[in-house]
Structure 1
């Protein structure tokens, strides 16, 4: 199910309660910082004071707890997927798009952490899986392949983010790629520092260094 992004945004005035409420609830769900919660409950301290300071699974991995990193990855992806699937069931394609935007912005700019959040990769993948499953699977495969071959988590995210809209366009047409383009642009924005370090050769690989 796909809906023109501009059309959806234009309909907020038509159904402000449903669509505005969907955006807000999805944002609050996306704001839940599972990496922070899990490391704190496990007695590892605040993950924001560990390694790169990021709240995502890659930095949780730097605590040495692979299990917590995996759970963080699944929960960060799961909140994006859950927001989209629930909103889609209640309000159809328009709800899906707004829920995707809300959950993604919640992870990037969480209200619970003074709007200083993660980089959105796992949440983006969860959203992609919920919106167009085959595209999401391909995106996950691309991330895993690049990460395995290069050991750069950030490079894997950047390649995946730019490939996903292309895949959506190829498999489902132009309407399917509009949201992916917007979210991918935000991923690139959040990876500005990583891009600079990749260019200069200073970006650490998975399993070493302190930067995300």
Structure 2
């Protein structure tokens, strides 16, 4: 994390508001509004875009992906705006929004797995790292056709991208202020992503993890 320069009371308010923003279950709201049923009773029961895709509605899945990513990015942007660009507030906002998505107060603390929100946070905090991580996810998804593999792989290599874009010979426009401190946040988010994908890791090892868009008969723990 960066040096703490923002007032404590401001940080507390930012954390609470960012958590509430992250806790908005867009997947559940979108599927209900589009008449697709209760998302928690579909496929894996997860509230993310991958499970929304199992409804067969690609537009709903895309909207969920963009909104889940957008709330992570928006939390960071608003925190920066409020504090005049303070890095500590921006990173705290990203972390709080991510936790809100994983354990939302609006959904009985049963949330998503955080991948889209993770990407949105990265894009807002350090856009070159975010773009490279998005491209990594896309590449892995095309090659494996398994969303969880793409998520886990892209999250795992994010620290590498953060290191690469901050090499001394890289143009200043690509470099991230306080990159070393941001690495801690990236590692925390990555660990949480792996924890939330624990059931997926078991299925990947067994060779039973479904392909992107496939429907699952038995819900797993979201």
User: What TM-score, normalized to structure 2?
Assistant: 0.88
Matches of 1:205 and 1:96, distance apart in 2: 35
Which residue is equivalent to 1:199?
Answer: 205
Matches of 2:65 and 2:89, distance apart in 1: 24
> Unpaired runs of 5+ in structure 1?
none
Residues 139 and 160, structure 1, Cα contact 8 Å, conserved in 2: yes
Alpha-carbon shift at residue 174 of structure 1 (Å): 2.1
Which residue is equivalent to 2:123?
Answer: 129
Alpha-carbon shift at residue 170 of structure 1 (Å): 2.7
User: What TM-score, normalized to structure 1?
Assistant: 0.92
Match of 1:80 among 27, 50, 72: 72
Matched, 1:47 2:53: no
Match of 1:164 among 158, 168, 175: 158
Alpha-carbon shift at residue 176 of structure 1 (Å): 2.8
Match of 2:185 among 176, 179, 183: 179
Matches of 1:197 and 1:50, distance apart in 2: 18
> Which has a greater percent of helix?
1
Instruction: Supply the RMSD in Å over aligned alpha carbons.
Output: 1.4
SS in structure 1 opposite 2:141? helix
Equivalent runs, 1:54-93 vs 2, <5 Å = 54-91=46-83, 92-93=86-87
Which residue is equivalent to 1:30?
Answer: 22
SS in structure 2 opposite 1:69? helix
